[in-house]
Structures are given as C-alpha cells and as structure tokens.
Amino acid sequence: MSPENLFLSPEEEAKFREQTIEAGHEEAHGPKPAGYSDIKHRLEDSEFSTRKFKVLDLGGGIGAYAEQLEKLFPNKVEVFTTGLSKRNIRESRNDTKWKKEQGLEFLDSNYPDRYLKWRSILELNKTDKNGEPLEEFDCIVNTMGELQYGPRNYLAYEKYIQAITAKMLPGGVSFLTPAVPIGADQEVALEYLSRIVEDDPRIRIYFREYDSYSTLIIEKASNEGKFELLKGDMEADGSLLKKISVAEEV
C-alpha cells in the first residue's frame, strides 16, 4: 500500500462524498482526512475487531477532521485531538452561518471530551510498567496544526518528533504536514530527524514533496518487526520517497 496523500484520489473522493451524504450531512469541502486509505486498510486486521483504531490529531482546531473520520468509520475509529481554545470550538460549532460558508454544516454543535483533550502532545506523559512512554495511537496526524507553531528551535522540533514516535503503537504510522515548522530550514531539520532513526531501529521516517507542501511519513515496526505501510522506498506508482536515514528493519 502507498503512503497517503493528504488529499484523496478522485476515486476515493467520490466514495468519500457518497459516504458523507449517506451519513446524513452535506459534502465536506477542503482537506480530506489524512491517512484515510491507510486506516481503511488497517481496519481489515483482526486486531480491530476487538478494539477501535485510535487516532491523535495534533492541533485539531474545531474537530472537523476528527468528526469526518469518525463518521466515515462509525464505531471503528476513535479520534483524540490537541488544541488551545475550547471557546473557539464552541463558538464555531454553534455559528450556523459560518459553518455553511465553510462547507462544514455536518459539524454537530456538541463535541466529545476527546476533542482538545490536551493542549499539546508534550502533555501525554503516561508511562508503562517499565517507566517508558505509553504507546497509545495507531495513527498520528498533523495538518497545519500544533507542529507548525509549537517548536521554537530545532532541538524543540526534535523533541516533538520524539514525542510522536513514542506515542505510536507498534505498526503505527504518522502523517505530518508540512514536514518542518514554518520558517525552519528544511535541510537542518532533516539532520535532527536522522538522529531519531539512528537511535531507534523500529522507526522509519520518509520525506515527500508535493506541489505546494511537504509531508513527513513516520512508521513504527510492528511487534513482529514488520512495517505495515511502506514496503520499500517507492510508492505503488513508482515515485521515489526520500528516506531520512537508513534504518535496518528489526
């Protein structure tokens, strides 16, 4: 399976529109759910017949992404978000005129406590019985959210990426767009990323450029040592991905 573009293919978009209409709300405009294809693929695993697929959306705003994804996969996907303003999410979700203008009429006025549960991923400090960070999420996404405005220097950026990899469950994947914080030097940032994969052979980080933005794709090997998403350095269509650093599969 290929890594997920943050926008769906024409075929997936058509299916997405059918499903949103069937779910009882209008078509959603703008960015489509990041990781949609990967989540759909992973939900075929028997593991998710007994538990929900857990997603963390960094800087999730008013929860438009979270709600779209949960309505696409009802009772199968559970989305948590980080963010700063609960007042903003309340006001926006109750502004009928604004939601219509933005094509977000499907948003309910109420939202679950899982949305804006934390201000930052750096607050997720649960540990396992060995005192290591508790791995909690099957997929972590950042679409112009927390990662763009939180880090103030390259060491802070590295800390954010380390926090993301630490909270990913085995077999998990993250999609971070854009790849580096606003104003950062991309080549310098990639040097810091290389240190992360050198320290942990379970982690693979890929960088891909699109027409107007870049994305980091991060994988964590499964307990069996397999990488669920990327099978090599190429997509299904033959386009190359830039591996941040060569990490041996475990």
Question: What pTM does this model have?
Answer: 0.77
Q: Which domain holds residue 206?
A: 10-228+235-243
DSSP letter assigned to residue 130: T
Asked if the structure places residue 5 within a domain, the reply is no
Asked if the structure places residue 199 within a domain, the reply is yes
Structure token pair of residue 250: 């475990």
The answer for residues whose C-beta is within 8 angstroms of residue 199's C-beta and 6 or more apart is none
Q: Which of 240, 172, 165, 185 lies closest to 209, judged by CA?
A: 240
Asked if the structure places residue 151 within a domain, the reply is yes
For the chain, what is the domain count? 1
User: Distance between CA 229 and CA 113 in Å, rounded?
Assistant: 30
**Domain at 57, CATH number:** 3.40.50.150
User: Distance between CA 65 and CA 162 in Å, rounded?
Assistant: 24
Asked if the structure places residue 2 within a domain, the reply is no
Asked if the structure places residue 139 within a domain, the reply is yes
Asked if the structure places residue 75 within a domain, the reply is yes
DSSP letter assigned to residue 4: P
User: Distance between CA 232 and CA 3 in Å, rounded?
Assistant: 11
User: Distance between CA 104 and CA 65 in Å, rounded?
Assistant: 10
Asked if the structure places residue 45 within a domain, the reply is yes
Asked if the structure places residue 190 within a domain, the reply is yes
pLDDT in tens, the chain (250 residues): 222 333 344 565 455 445 443 443 333 333 445 567 778 888 888 899 999 999 999 988 888 888 888 888 899 999 999 988 888 888 988 999 988 888 888 888 888 899 989 989 988 888 888 888 889 999 999 876 787 777 878 888 888 899 999 999 998 988 887 777 767 777 788 788 888 878 888 888 887 765 556 778 888 888 777 766 554 444 444 344 455 543 333 3
Cβ neighbours of 188 (radius 10 Å): 11
